[in-house]
Amino acid sequence: MADTTDLTRSIVRVMAQTAIDNEEYFGELDSIVGDGDLGFSLARGFEVVAQELNTTEDEDPGAFLRRVAILITSRTGGTSGPIWGTAFLRAATVASAAARIDRPTVIAMLRAAIEGIKARGKADLGDKTLLDALQPGVDELERQFTRDASDVEAIRATARVMAQQAEATATLQARRGRASYAGPRSIGSPDPGAIVVAYMMRAVSESWK
């Protein structure tokens, strides 16, 4: 893994563009059993992040991710702001404490983000949230790193797992968020947050050089 802020910025830029480009689709998914504001909320928050990407360029990865966390928390509506903001903040904390952003550090950053989401959302695997795509994806990324796969191989494998697991959330009943109010009616459609994570990871894998 490259030890540069440029790589971190590039990944966040792709994530932001994915949220903006898929605003309508993410909103439609969320409207099935939720309140339908996910697409709008994420797009507005990541629009601000995208604008900020063109400003300060001399930050280290930890400082950059911390700034993203603040922007996401303050500019993203609904429950998405605190959830995504916490994820970026936890990742930033690990990055700031690391001597370099190598593969073990990347996994530690992602694990910290997962734990932050769990704590903030009081959710876990099987609750039909973005965790059901994110955590299996990180497990796969770590497995690929352990077998010394190339960055491209590892990221593509991770994207595939996240996509599969996101679609598999259709079989689950929502236990957190607005969708949980629908009870058994939440079964049959995938979790919007999990789809967002999968779409972002797919975009990262497609853009990886």
pTM of the predicted model, to two decimals? 0.94
Is the Cα torsion angle 139, 141, 144, 148 positive or negative in sign? negative
pLDDT in tens, 150-193: 999 999 999 999 999 999 999 999 998 888 888 898 899 999 99
Q: Which long-range contacts (CB under 8 A, 24 or more apart) does 177-182 make?
A: 177/34, 177/79, 177/121, 177/129, 178/33, 178/34, 178/35, 179/33, 179/34, 179/128, 182/33
pLDDT value for 58: 65
DSSP 4: S
pLDDT in tens, 40-77: 999 999 999 999 887 766 689 999 999 999 999 999 98
Domains belonging to the chain, first-starting first, are 5-207 (1.25.40.340)
C-alpha to C-alpha distance for 195 and 65, rounded to whole angstroms: 22
Instruction: Give the mean pLDDT of the chain.
Output: 93
The proportion of the chain whose per-residue pLDDT surpasses 90, expressed as a percent, equals 83
- Stretch among 140-144, 149-153, 205-209 having the lowest mean pLDDT: 205-209
pLDDT in tens, 118-139: 999 999 999 999 999 999 999 9
